[in-house]
Amino acid sequence: MEDKLLIKLFLGFIQIHILHHAKEHPIFGAWMLEELREHGYTIRPGTLYPILHSMENDWLLNKENRNISRGISKYYTTNEKGQDVLVEERKKAYELFKEIKD
């Protein structure tokens, strides 16, 4: 079951995670859900898709519609602004990690 409080707390981590992978290769929703699940984040498509959409609206991700056998699939890639944000966030995450690790 999905915990709303946990999603709220980890939203930033989820977004950094998306930026990280979408920088390496275009990602689509189902792939990202599986990736997050492997890292222990159980989130529903109905939660992930609005996150991807808002990141697109914030000019962090570029969206590309691709024709696949079952219809159209949306692929997301981290754009230039998203990469800048990722660099900043990575520094902040590392700072925080150093402080709280013990």
Provide the angle, in degrees to the nearest 10, between the axes of the packed helices 29-38 and 4-24. Answer: 110
Query: Among residues 39 and 70, whose Cβ is nearest to Zn ion?
Result: 39
Least distance to Zn ion from the beta carbon of 60, Å? 17
Least distance to Zn ion from the beta carbon of 47, Å? 17
DSSP 79: -
Q: Over the range 25-58, which residues count as b (16 or more CB within 10 Å of their CB) and which as e?
A: ebbbbeebbeebeeeebebeeebbeebbeebbee
Query: Among residues 34 and 102, whose Cβ is nearest to Zn ion?
Result: 34
Query: Among residues 35 and 56, whose Cβ is nearest to Zn ion?
Result: 35
The residue of the chain with the least Cβ separation from Zn ion equals 35
Q: Which two tokens stand for residue 55?
A: 């990141």
Least distance to Zn ion from the beta carbon of 43, Å? 13
Residues forming contacts to Zn ion in the complex (CB under 5 A) are 35
